[in-house]
Amino acid sequence: MLKRALSFLLVSALLLPLLASCQQSPASDVNDAVWWKDAIFYQIFVRSFADSNGDGKGDFKGLTAKLDYLNDGKPETQTDLGVTALWLMPIHPSPTIHGYDVMDYRDVNPDYGTLDDFKLFLSEAHKRGIHVIMDFVINHTSIQHPWFVASASGDPAYRDYYVWSNEKLDYQGPWGQQVWYGKGDAYYYAVFDPNMPDLNYRNPAVTGEVEKIARYWVEEIGIDGFRVDGAKHLLEDGKVQVNTPETHAWFKEFHALTQSWQLKDWQPAQKPLTVGEVWDASDIIAPFVTNSELDLVFNFDLAGSILSGVKFNDAIAVGHAYTKQAAIFGQSPYAAFLSNHDMVRVMSNLSGDARKARGAAAILLTGPGVPFVYYGEEIGMSGSGPDINYRLPMQWSSEKGAGFSSATPWRDPYPDFDLVNVAAQTGDPKSLLSLYRDLIRVRGQHYALRTGQYIEVSANNSSVYAALRLAEKESILVLINLGAEPVDQPQLSWAASPLKGSYTLSALLGSGKFNKLKVDEKGGAANFQPLEQLPAGEVLILHLK
């Protein structure tokens, strides 16, 4: 059963004193209003996931057919990935492939099917215990959206739906880009692209429209929450175009509103999730959650630290990064991840090193935060260069079209699909896919890994990543050798913890003969040797009893 331990204080010389919120809860957090705290998310670009009708494009029916791969809803099986929530990238009608320029917020992209197809997918996901959130692109619309067409024509009912100026202002955007574009005898503001004009949230009518749209998807359609794109750009104050006080105030009101709603298909009452894309430093993004403006924000600093540490076999840097995030966020949660649709894929970032990819996965799925896994990451899909290369078709098999489509895919899969695919890795206990399945299963079964306190552990070898994850009634030690060589007689140290007395170590993941742990009066340990040798690339999750 999934549990969340009662809050208690943990002290470590390597960690600022922090209060951990670890309240016990049932195996499936569906009965909890904040269900997402125990969830493991999987990000999907529908166009690239599975094609059901042979037109070369992924669709809702294809996605529905693959739900059992993601989670078959049967706890006794171990052949599914085991994720418990999905984030769908934009699903609305759009003139572009990426979909981040919405033409109609109340409908779905016809390339993906009909609204009824989407409702069926949602129903089947919910039957399996899978929550679904959707991209909520509300900073801007498509230039083809009826609101903008009316606004640009001078319709007084819609003119102030967007940001207009009678003269072209001379300042540039946050990364030095042009942001003012001519239309007729005036200029409109568009921070991302001239085809994506920014909405004007100083107009209460715009806020009203967006709130009604959000309510429609939650209460009528049954979606479970929103990933808010470009959240830090929502309200500008002249040349100050990111993270303005007005933006924070808007999200605080919006969050309070969404928390008054109830998810449609879950009982007892659950609340929708809001997770924000605020691509910035951790100390800048943290107020969005510490001030109850969003439930989660994506932790870009942490993602960079994990991948950099893994790339250079620097476990110390990874441990320090987690400690830093704990000091910044305190008890407030964040979304942890390794890559997404705007970033070079993990395997390409790590130069195709499967051992390093395994280490990165293990750190993510044993660490604090609510984890998000980008589709294909679990099999080691590659992708670098233009953004479109990060969003190539899912590699299901070595068949033509990578098993994604019976026709020519909308985009060629990565050339290695004949070797790197789900079919090739299924049934291989040493594959990256098997590791992801095992990590997700163990995380789902042990609340200390999901919500327990994190205590940084030092090792006598910089390639050895070690951490304690502690909850009131569960204690876990994580050991990962990031290096290419075995580490003989690894020794671990930490100054203090709530641990008391002696503990026997048993493997939840991995195997070996382990020594007994005895902590000092402060719950610390000095030069503790858990086993004789830690093999290269080894991932151990050890239960302390």
Which residues are the active-site residues?
Answer: 229, 277
DSSP string across 53-106: SSSSS--HHHHHHTHHHH--S-TT--SS----EEEEPP-S--SSSS--S-S-TT
DSSP string across 141-209: --TTSHHHHHHHTT-TTTGGGB-EESS------TTS---EEEETTEEEE-SS-TTSPBB-TTSHHHHHH
DSSP state of 378: G
In which element (H, E) is residue 12 found? strand 8-12
**Token code pair at residue 525:** 């340990």
Separation of alpha carbons 31 and 35, rounded Å: 7
The torsion defined by the Cα of 345, 347, 352 and 357, in degrees rounded to 10, comes to 160
Q: Among candidates 250, 248, 236, 255, which has minimal Cα distance to 197? A: 236
Determine phi and psi for 367, rounding to 5 degrees.
-100, 175
End-to-end Cα spacing for the chain:
18
Characterize the bridge pairing of strands 517-518 and 487-488.
unpaired
CB half-sphere exposure, 274, CA atoms < 13 A: 27
